Structure 1
Amino acid sequence: MPEPLPLHATSGPDAVLPDALKGHWVDTRAPRAARPFLKLARIERPIGWWLLLLPCWWAAGLAAIAAGRPYPDPWHCLLFLIGAILMRGAGCTFNDIIDRKLDAEVARTRGRPLPSGQVTAKAAALFMVALSLGGLAVLLQFNRFTIVLGIASLAIVAIYPFMKRITNMPQFVLGLAFSWGGLLGWSAVFGRLDPPAYLIYAAAIAWTVGYDTIYAMQDIEDDVIAGIKSSARYFGDHTREAVALCFGLATALTAIAIWLVGGGFFAWLGLAAFAGHLGRQVARIAGASAPEALMLFRSNRNAGLLLAAGLALDTIGRALLAG
């Protein structure tokens, strides 16, 4: 069995989980009674909601270019931000309820609130419902098509926690859920789905499989013991090549989407910066330790922001030239 972590790292509301940001306000300033619930929602690990949010912003940028708007809709972008934080928290809480026994067998996760006994399953379920209702309130601000589309994503979210038990590629199912914003960001503008939306959704799925494979590299030894399946285990010695393929596919699909909407210089510059960042990650995968894999995984926030910024600047630049 894995060696136990030190007591301060595995139990109590003051526990600092291995993949949490050090010195985060959840661990230093939040009321102690609230800390286990904030950790259930992964508030001290913001990379998750960033990765859920970025496909929304990509699609919003593409839609703004296609519609000839001077910039992506700020109200939509704000709603996507709030919704990403709430729904990522609800999804993670649901995942932890389902996985609490498996999490107890993995060194990196056994200190989480449920397996460590800080929160009961019932309390976690009530917390999940509250977060979901908040997410629903955000979703109701959009057009009817987007509301229905957003609700449809819950089917994928519901099955994801079980995928690591039955498939070697749970990362693909995660991608189906985490990339849904690529559809929502487009439908929020047009009230329908068009080829660029499907392309950016597929690109985000490939990106997700790539970065989450890097993330799974941290747990390979424990996953073998616990019987948890992952793409990192499946790809084995070919992980670097597999991630390179995923990132290359994400770049190619995004390029087609940009071409279809008539993207200009800044859109292509953003894509080039995105691709360059992904290439740097691939170059550093071989022999990466667990802390290095976590660092590479987290760096995908910056990669995604480069693309989002390029798409937004493309709309702004066009508006300035037209004015």
Structure 2
Amino acid sequence: MADTTKKIGDLDVSGLCLGGNVFGWTADRDTSFQILDAYAASGGNFIDTADSYMASAPGNVGGESEEIIGEWTAARGTRDDVVIATKVGRHPRREGLSAANIRAAAEDSLRRLRTDRIDLYYTHFDDESVPVEEIMTALDELVRAGKVRQIAVSNIGLERLEASLAFSEREGTAKYVGIQPHYNLVSRDTYEGPRRDIAERHGLACMPYYGLASGFLTGKYRPDTEVDSARAGKAARHLETERGRKVLQALDEVAQESGKPHATVALAWLAAQPTVVAPIASARTMEQLPPLLDVPGTALTGDQLSRLTEASA
């Protein structure tokens, strides 16, 4: 991985964030350790997870991804070398964003991660039953206690996002430094527009999730081709849209020209977009990892970026 350190608040992070949503789900403990080892060996230092990963998998209760990451950092002695981001609000036993729940969920995450601080703590999904004042105050208390270094937000409505940022500025509490939206070549209006305008105005770093559209942007999904993946249904639906087919054609062209895998090209386009600091992508096998590691060192030409942007319009 190229040395392209980026900033999220006062955190120094790699230009590709390794998604931990597959750990304890489609990647078992040993495979997860191998992926984490290879990512770290390449110079990567930014790992994303959530307290709810992967509660939906048979036999899981939630927090399995955090536990694997915590076990890995303890075994390798790498806690001080990595930036760990996790989320609050969706764990089956810790749903919602009440102040009491945020405090309890943070303690649970700290225990599973085997650490004394969370580097970047996201509200996973907004809880409109709780005033933003209560949420931001609870997060601020965690920062002041040294249990959280920086706070960020993922899925939230525009009005609540603006209100949260305004409260922090008015009251001098910890402020969101980042945003994690759904954003990729086949889903642009989920971020571009008013949401990105807010991020630009407030200096929020963007770390998009679903950067590869559940695998569709890896180029492996084609008509009459069956793909063995837990996300195959979500990914294959893009073949049914004109936008999906146009994007796939543009990816084919740019991948051939650049000699880069489709996944690298798709994430390099994302990394080049305004406000984006580090796209998030996960690998469930070691074979899926190299195209992700190549993203920070890949610079597409202006023409290639334009063609991908036009195809995905």
TM, length-normalised to structure 2: 0.29
| Bigger CA radius of gyration | 1
Between Structure 1 and Structure 2, the one with more strand by share is 2
